């Protein structure tokens, strides 16, 4: 096991950009929403830079890009509802696991670590995605961006999960791809691990100064 896991009991993972490459499906849902609203259609690469703060912020960023100004509340509500409908209809059509995710989670689970999923994605999408990839049984606790009053980069979701599992933050690790994951982990007193291949608003994740930067998830179990 990687040295960062020494003395740890809980490993919390982000979802989008860390375990799954979900941008293709998210982009389709955004594009269909903009088509419904007769707005300019963004490219997938643009949507990638907007991901990470939950569905409402994703759509607000997309609308701001399309309008070249901040959208009003009525439009934000209509766009969010349309996005949720489109994404909910096919959250796994194009989404894929990143290499090594399945074997890494298997190894960590079998080694006795408690695994948690802490994502800013709406909670209703967690089970369909995890079930699709046969990952549900690996996680002792899952929490979405709308499960609590605050989401990452707030430390609240991480502290909530640690409390629910009765594990000290000092015995916990946050693994993610974005500055929000690292900020939340640091504020919660978790050790932080970053992967460089996900969605971090076009910024190198090393700028967020995680405790450890790994090239891919299997590095957690290969030492």
Strand, helix or coil for residue 97: strand
Binding residues for Mg(2+): 14, 16, 177
Q: What is the pLDDT of residues 66-103, one digit of tens each?
A: 999 999 999 999 999 999 999 999 999 999 999 999 99
Q: Residue 63 belongs to what domain range? A: 23-89
pLDDT over threshold 90, residue 201:
no
* Average pLDDT, integer, range 190-217: 94
pLDDT at 163 (0 to 100):
98
Last residue of a domain, one of 59, 89, 119: 89
pLDDT over threshold 80, residue 25:
yes
Q: In whole angstroms, give the CA distance from residue 223 to residue 24.
A: 32
pLDDT at 133 (0 to 100):
95
Last residue of a domain, one of 89, 106, 141: 89
Specify the CATH number for the domain of residue 12: 3.40.50.1000
Judge if 164 and 195 occupy the same domain: yes
Calculate ∠ Cα 206-209-212, nearest 5°. Answer: 80
Judge if 146 and 45 occupy the same domain: no
The pair of structure tokens assigned to 51 is 């991901």
Binding residues: 14, 16, 177
pLDDT over threshold 90, residue 223:
no
Judge if 68 and 133 occupy the same domain: no
Judge if 8 and 28 occupy the same domain: no
Catalytic residue annotation: 14
Q: Which of 136, 137, 120 is nearest to 181 (CA)?
A: 120
Judge if 15 and 27 occupy the same domain: no
Q: What is the pLDDT of residues 42-74, one digit of tens each?
A: 999 999 999 988 899 999 999 999 999 999 999
Number of domains in the chain: 2
Q: Is the pTM of this model over 0.85?
A: yes
DSSP state of 42: P
Percentage of the chain lying above the pLDDT 90 cut:
94
């Amino acid at each position: 096991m990687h040295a960062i896991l020494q003395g740890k009991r809980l490993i919390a993972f982000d979802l989008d950009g860390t375990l799954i490459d979900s941008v293709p499906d998210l982009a389709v849902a955004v594009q269909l929403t903009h088509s419904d609203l007769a707005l300019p259609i963004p490219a997938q690469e643009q949507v990638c830079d907007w991901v990470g703060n939950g569905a409402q912020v994703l759509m607000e960023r997309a609308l701001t890009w399309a309008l070249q100004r901040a959208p009003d509340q009525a439009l934000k509500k209509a766009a969010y509802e349309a996005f949720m409908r489109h994404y909910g209809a096919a959250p796994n059509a194009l989404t894929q696991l990143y290499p090594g995710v399945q074997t890494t989670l298997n190894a960590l689970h079998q080694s006795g670590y408690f695994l948690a999923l802490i994502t800013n994605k709406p909670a209703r999408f967690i089970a369909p995605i995890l079930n699709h990839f046969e990952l549900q049984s690996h996680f002792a606790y899952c929490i979405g961006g709308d499960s609590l009053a605050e989401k990452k980069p707030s430390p609240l979701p991480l502290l909530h999960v640690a409390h629910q599992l009765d594990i000290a933050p000092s015995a916990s690790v946050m693994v993610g791809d974005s500055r929000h994951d690292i900020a939340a982990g640091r504020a919660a007193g978790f050790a932080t691990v970053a992967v460089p291949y996900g969605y971090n608003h076009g910024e190198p994740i090393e700028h967020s100064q995680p405790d450890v930067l790994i090239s891919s998830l299997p590095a957690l179990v290969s030492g």
